[in-house]
Amino acid sequence: MNMTSYGGIFRQNANADARLAAIVDSSYDAIIGKNLNSIITDWNQAAERMFGYTAEEAVGQSILMLLPEHMYGEEAEIIGRIRRGEGVGSHETTRKRKDGSLIAVSITVSPIRNSAGEIIGASQIARDITPAKESERRIRFLMREVNHRVKNQFAVILSMVRETSKRSTDPGEFEELIRARIMALSRSHDLLVTSEWAGASLFDLVQEHLKPFGHEDRISMSGPLLTLQSNAVQNLGMAFHELGTNSSKYGALASGGGHIEITWKVETGPEAQRRFHLLWHETSDKVATARKAPERKGFGTVVLQRVAPQSLSGSSSLERSPAGVKWTLDAPIEAIVVPQLGADTDSNFSV
């Protein structure tokens, strides 16, 4: 072989090495080389981003600096397998950054051999799986929340069936009432699902439950911006549905006319306890009230006087008169709003 041939082979090898170095350096995954004593020999840019050490800081140091102390035995096991010529398939573990914080990673380790086939070290590829772990955590949380909510919904529906059957005069009426009440629960459920069970605004809850009855021009709302926790969403949703249903039959949302004013506020009591106050004030004209509401105590009354206030650790009052309906609810703020969010009492709105 002449010198020209040697030169061509040398250039080909140099080009291959340059391409390999470029691929390693531009990799999204951290690629680390180490010898059989676990001393770092190579360190790409992704490793710098992932662990916080520059190449100058990392090369020449033991790779144990990336492991929590209680996991040092893992590195000894990895090096033992590499010495035997075995690779370490992708597995999930934990590593430590320069600032001491921990990171979830998936690592793959393979032997490095010299031209004679002897094992002289190992290459380690590490991938940050923190987003995947967070997604798994959220999925588990949501599944537990869904399981809890489904059981709770079943209990509420069974109660609805029992109480509605006691107060229904015929099967047709029973079916109509049950369908409407389950659909109301579904509307509250949809708001919670949309927010991934983070809660729902009181404004959205009122709108969602009164929308099926129409006559939006007869409804006004005013109060601070509140994010309700899931229990409050469900119980206040039931209350608004019952109030809206009654209003659509006998009050302001019937064809005759009238007006509904829904207001709420957060106040601090004498013992520095923050309280939530809500008022549904419905006024009706003579035409709308001509069709008188039944005297018997229906399921809606039970919800307004007992179910909703007791579920929210509060109290309520319900007043009916020819002029309209007034329902008030008083409850501790911690039973109403999402923890740590509270009430933005400085941000009032009126619609």
CATH of the domain at 116: 3.30.450.20
% the chain with pLDDT above 90: 43
The whole-chain average pLDDT of the chain stands at 82
**Do 175 and 313 lie in a common domain?**
yes
Domain boundary among 128, 150, 166: 128
**Do 35 and 118 lie in a common domain?**
yes
pLDDT, position 122: 94
Residue 270: pLDDT over 90: no
**Do 208 and 282 lie in a common domain?**
yes
Residue 35: pLDDT over 90: yes
pLDDT, position 195: 74
pLDDT, position 294: 53
Give 134-152 pLDDT, tens digit per residue.
Answer: 888 888 877 787 777 667 7
**Do 213 and 336 lie in a common domain?**
yes
Question: pLDDT band for position 223 (50/70/90)?
Answer: very high
**Better pLDDT: 10 or 60:** 60
**Do 64 and 175 lie in a common domain?**
no
Closest CA to 134 of 103, 107, 95, 108: 103
Calculate mean pLDDT across residues 116-135.
Answer: 91
Residue 312: pLDDT over 50: yes
User: Which range among 38-52, 57-71, 91-105, 195-209 shows the weakest confidence by mean pLDDT?
Assistant: 195-209
Q: In angstroms, rounded to a whole number, what is the distance separating the alpha carbons of residues 241 and 345?
A: 26
**Do 298 and 186 lie in a common domain?**
yes
Q: Output the domain CATH number for residue 322.
A: 3.30.565.10
User: Which range among 4-13, 23-32, 141-150, 281-290 shows the weakest confidence by mean pLDDT?
Assistant: 4-13
What are the distances in angstroms from CA 183 to CA 65, 84, 344?
Answer: 58, 65, 30
The residue count of the chain comes to 351
Question: pLDDT band for position 263 (50/70/90)?
Answer: very high
**Do 65 and 199 lie in a common domain?**
no
pLDDT, position 350: 59
Question: Do residues 133 and 96 lie in contact, with contact meaning Cβ atoms separated by under 8 Å?
Answer: no
The helix (run of H) or strand (run of E) holding residue 55 is helix 55-58
Q: Which domain, by its residues, includes 251?
A: 137-350
Query: DSSP string covering 237-302, please?
Result: HHHHHHHHHHHHHHSTTSTT-EEEEEEEEEEE-TTS-EEEEEEEEEEE-HHHHTSPPPSS--HHHH
**Do 231 and 309 lie in a common domain?**
yes
Domain boundary among 103, 128, 153: 128
Residue 14: pLDDT over 50: no
Residue 150: exposure state from Cβ atoms within 10 A (0-12, 13-18, ≥19) = exposed
Strands (E), 24-101: 30-35, 40-43, 88-96
Question: pLDDT band for position 9 (50/70/90)?
Answer: very low
Q: Say how many C-beta atoms besides its own lie within 10 A of residue 23's C-beta.
A: 11
**Do 66 and 141 lie in a common domain?**
no
Residue 160: pLDDT over 50: yes
Q: Say how many C-beta atoms besides its own lie within 10 A of residue 207's C-beta.
A: 16
**Do 106 and 166 lie in a common domain?**
no
Q: Which amino acid is at 143?
A: M
Q: In angstroms, rounded to a whole number, what is the distance separating the alpha carbons of residues 103 and 272?
A: 42
**Do 111 and 156 lie in a common domain?**
no
Q: Cα 343 to the chain's mean position, in Å? A: 19
SS3 223: strand
**Do 160 and 107 lie in a common domain?**
no
pLDDT, position 346: 53
What are the distances in angstroms from CA 108 to CA 24, 52, 68, 130, 279?
Answer: 15, 20, 18, 17, 62
Count how many domains the chain has: 2
Domain boundary among 91, 110, 128: 128
What burial letters (b/e) apply to 64-76, b meaning 16+ CB within 10 Å? Answer: bebbeeeeeebbe
